[in-house]
Structure 1
């Protein structure tokens, strides 16, 4: 268990990727602070994973509220002094035409997807520095950072920005021994927030070169590597874990017809 007793904060922990990350690192011995907007969903994740309440922190965080984010930071400071790992996983994916999108929706997308990672990375890094920890920060992005999708321009733009922000933090925190990297998970149907039709899922899978959706150990395994000693010389990197989906347009070859006789 390579992360035995390491302390780890995960935002968006009740979502599909957040719960996968929590499950992976719990098995690796980490002590978890799970953050999401609703306490009941966090309690369900903790119960489903059979997490020890004595070593698990839960915080209902509104990521567009400075006060709420600072409450999360203060909880971590009081209980652990500092985290060893921060994963800014929470994100909002919306589908709006730019001409029709309300300013409040634009602000919420950028508040959760960009401003919150900035605030939490800054404040958690301050805790790491004060406690002398050479920690890791992982920001969760998307292949959409490089490929504009119609009606999801705010999401794509925010993910491009968070990758640039990550490189900026990597530069400024390097002399403290804190590494900052980005993971771009692949397509993972099953979100309760954004339900997808069977037809949509089937079409998406056709466009993935490796031919399958992201699984529960794909992105978490990449995060674990980037937070491990084996990646001690890696900072400011962006790692795509998407089966090749973000490489470019892909058309799966048709199966060859069966030979007669």
Structure 2
């Protein structure tokens, strides 16, 4: 039970990655503050994880509202004093071209994907410092931080900025023993917010060098590692957990000669 009696905050807890992350920490004995927009999704997740009130705190957080985030931190302080681990998982991925994008939509994307992680990290780092806790913060980024995607430029830009923010917090919080890292998850279908066709999923899977999409154990295990004592000398890093998808474009059927022969007999 690596995280027995540790307090973990996860934003976007009711989403696909959020549920996987929360399940991994719950399995390792952590107390969980589950944060998402809607309370019904959080209640469902709490029951799914089998958490009682001593190990769970639910908060319907509006991440575009600073006051809501401040209230989230206050609730955690009141119940547990501080969090030991913060996972800034919540994010939005609208698809719209720049020429048609209203300024209000640009602001909404950056409010959730960049401004909110800044405020969450600031508020919870203050609690860690006051409580003399050598904590860990992990920001969920994306391979989109390094490569623009047509129709998703604001998302890509926000994730690039999030990785710079990660390094900035890592630098400034290091004297307090607080480590800050980022994880870039691999392609994972199943989002209720952004449903994907079976054809699209199969097309994407074929482009991933390791030949599969991201599953429930991939990103969460990387996060658990970064938050554990095994990673006590790691801060300010960005870890890709994507089956090699960030290496470059992979085209099936292009292997020739000895490599192709070896693959046929493997």
Question: Normalised by the shorter chain, which TM-score bucket?
Answer: over 0.9
**Residue 222 (structure 2) pairs with residue 218 (structure 1):** no
Give the Å deviation of 1:248: 1.1
2:242 & 2:216 partners in 1: Cα distance? 12
Which consecutive residues of structure 2, in runs of 5 or more, have no partner in the other structure? Answer: none
Structure 2 match to 1:59: 59
**Residue 129 (structure 2) pairs with residue 129 (structure 1):** yes
Structure 1 match to 2:207: 207
Q: Pairwise mapping of residues 1-261 of structure 1 onto structure 2 (< 5 A)?
A: 1-253=1-253
Q: 1:138 aligns to what SS in structure 2?
A: strand
Point out 4+ residue stretches in structure 1 off by more than 6 angstroms: 254-257
Give the Å deviation of 1:26: 0.2
1:103 & 1:219 partners in 2: Cα distance? 32
Q: TM-score, normalised by structure 2?
A: 0.95
Give the Å deviation of 1:71: 0.7
Q: 2:73 aligns to what SS in structure 1?
A: helix
2:218 & 2:25 partners in 1: Cα distance? 13
Note the alpha carbon deviations across 1:200-231, whole angstroms, 9 max, x for none.
Answer: 10110011000001010100000000011110
Give the Å deviation of 1:254: 6.2
Give the aligned length: 258
Give the Å deviation of 1:74: 0.4
1:29 & 1:177 partners in 2: Cα distance? 22
Give the Å deviation of 1:149: 0.2
Give the Å deviation of 1:111: 0.2
Note the alpha carbon deviations across 1:40-80, whole angstroms, 9 max, x for none.
Answer: 01111111111122220000000000111111010011111
Q: TM-score, normalised by structure 1?
A: 0.97
Give the superposed CA RMSD. Answer: 1.3
1:181 & 1:254 partners in 2: Cα distance? 36
Q: 1:99 aligns to what SS in structure 2?
A: helix
Note the alpha carbon deviations across 1:89-133, whole angstroms, 9 max, x for none.
Answer: 000001010000111111110000000000010110000000000
